Amino acid sequence: MENSQLNFEKKTIRKVTRRIIPFLFLLYIISYLDRANVGYAALEMNEALGLTSKMFGLVTGIFFIGYFIFEVPSNILMQKFGARVWITRILITWGIISMATGFAQNATQLYIIRFFLGVAEAGLFPGIILYLTYWFRAKERASTIAMFMTAIAVSYIIGAPVSTLIIDHIHWMNVPGWRWMFIIEGAPAVVLGFVTYF
């Protein structure tokens, strides 16, 4: 009886892991890609928008101000609305805001967009960790979180080649590649937001 219960538990955990972790893994790759791609765009974007090194430093740093301020409120709201609804909201709003970066015309617009990108994305990581506690017991949680966290390394591996490929080769409608990079890389977050909900 005890053995069959243990086998059932292991089978259940394996099934839950297969259903949840690959999708969350993908979401976090997209998250890191949208967060870091401003660095790949820097050379062309800074020249186009007249950004100095100090201004670019503020562009990258202001994201974390929005993220820090709204991280805890975001988790409180996730508990109120539920993980499915709130993670969907996070993905769709951050995807739209990330895409809007491609339309920025000056430093001020870029500051505002990056701040709100941080606001929109706040709560994703702690929200996912909280979500994992709903599905995994303490003894499985460490290995599950470790699997999920490898998404950061994968995002760095694919981020540079994908971003630079877009910047170098996509110039549709005479729009510079760095703008298309933000638009193209922001779109999957919106799509995956709807997938998350359903």
Distances (CA, A) of 114 to 55, 122, 191: 12, 12, 21
Q: Which of 157, 21, 179, 193 is nearest to 113 (CA)?
A: 179
Residue 145 burial by Cβ neighbours in a 10 Å radius (0-12, 13-18, 19+): middle
Q: Tokens for 173?
A: 């409608």
Does some domain include residue 69?
yes
Domain for residue 185, yes or no? yes
- Residues sharing a CB contact under 8 Å with residue 198, sequence separation 6 or more, in sequence order: none
What domain range is 111 assigned to? 39-197
DSSP letter at 136?
S
CA pair distance 65, 63, nearest whole angstrom: 6
Per-residue pLDDT at 163 exceeds 80? yes
- Specify the residue for token string 């974390």: 64
12 inside domain: no
Summarised one tens digit per residue, pLDDT across range 94-151 is 999 999 999 999 999 999 999 999 999 998 888 888 888 888 888 888 888 888 888 8
The gap between the terminal CA atoms of the chain, to the nearest Å, is 37
Q: What is the pLDDT of residue 168?
A: 94
For position 147, which CATH number holds? Answer: 1.20.1250.20
Residue 56 has pLDDT above 90, yes or no: yes
Query: What is the number of domains present in the chain?
Result: 1
In a domain, 34, yes or no: no
| 135 part of a folded domain | yes
Q: Of 155, 123, 130, which Cα lies nearest the Cα of 145?
A: 130
Residue 20 lies in a domain: no
